[in-house]
């Protein structure tokens, strides 16, 4: 079963506009973490933002915010004021906790969304 | 304060040769995770190691692949008798230990393996 689903293979946005990248997840674990990464054409994985399942507020990091809707099991990434340098592949990932409450770092990734920012 | 260091960045091997990929975790980190990214796909978990122990190798192919994280030195992902299908980017991530939060979030720059 697919645990992380990114339904948008590609997205386009005009420079300075906001864009939302979708991510839904599936888990029966009440304690989990959700991550977003950016992978530019150079290939490295750049950590953007993290949301814990028990966090009351949506995570924000500069121009990045995570629209966390727990009941719908969605964790969409919102990029405000898009810049040309935001053009990249974006991955959503989930870390589930082992039974017993301790977590470890094994991440499950979605297929990714290619974002293209137009001038 | 160096991040997760992987080397080499690019590795070319002929079919049948061995590939050795190295990962030096961030300072103070004793847990290492290896992931593989095939072209046009997301990262797939391979193995989780602590110093001198393999904790979870559920994502490792049954044959030709092995990983270690010795007491001293980097973690090594070893692929014996490489085939064209092993061509991929291999990423390493490290963490200081089991815990909550985003501590396991940081990856190395990856090793791009090409099998010719």
Q: Residues B6-57: pLDDT tens digits?
A: 999 999 999 999 999 999 999 888 889 999 999 888 899 999 999 899 989 9
Model pLDDT, residue A98: 63
> Nearest by CB to B89, which of A33, A43, A95?
A43
- pLDDT higher than threshold 80 for residue B3: yes
How does the average pLDDT of chain B come out, rounded? 91
Model pLDDT, residue B15: 98
> Nearest by CB to A91, which of B42, B89, B105?
B42
Q: Which residue of A has its CA nearest to B93?
A: A105
Provide the pLDDT confidence category of residue A103 given band limits of 50, 70 and 90: low
- Residue A84 is classified by DSSP as G
Q: How far is B35 from chain A (nearest CA, A)?
A: 9
Provide the pLDDT confidence category of residue A29 given band limits of 50, 70 and 90: confident
- Residue B107 is classified by DSSP as B
- pLDDT higher than threshold 80 for residue A101: no
Cβ–Cβ < 8 Å for B93, B32: yes
> Nearest by CB to A44, which of B43, B100, B109?
B109
Please state, as a whole number, how many other Cβ atoms lie within 10 Å of the Cβ of residue B18: 11
């Amino acid at each position: 079963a697919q645990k992380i689903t990114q339904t948008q293979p590609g997205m386009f946005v005009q420079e300075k506009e906001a864009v939302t990248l979708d991510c839904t997840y599936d888990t029966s674990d009440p304690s989990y973490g959700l991550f977003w990464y950016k992978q530019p054409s150079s290939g490295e994985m750049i950590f953007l933002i993290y949301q814990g399942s028990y966090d009351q507020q949506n995570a924000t990091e500069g121009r990045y915010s995570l629209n966390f809707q727990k009941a719908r099991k969605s964790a969409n990434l919102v990029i405000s004021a898009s810049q040309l340098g935001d053009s990249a592949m974006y991955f959503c990932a989930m870390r589930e906790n082992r039974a017993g409450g301790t977590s470890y770092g094994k991440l499950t990734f979605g297929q990714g969304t290619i974002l293209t920012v137009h001038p | 304060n160096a991040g997760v260091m992987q080397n080499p960045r690019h590795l070319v091997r002929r079919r049948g040769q061995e590939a050795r990929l190295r990962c030096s975790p961030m300072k103070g980190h004793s847990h290492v995770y290896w992931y593989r990214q095939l072209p046009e796909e997301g990262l797939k978990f391979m193995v989780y190691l602590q110093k001198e122990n393999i904790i979870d190798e559920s994502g490792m192919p049954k044959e030709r692949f092995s990983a270690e994280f010795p007491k001293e030195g980097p973690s090594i992902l070893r692929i014996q008798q490489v085939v064209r299908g092993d061509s991929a980017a291999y990423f390493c991530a490290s963490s200081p230990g089991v815990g909550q939060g985003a501590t396991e979030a940081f990856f190395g720059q990856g090793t791009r393996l090409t099998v010719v």
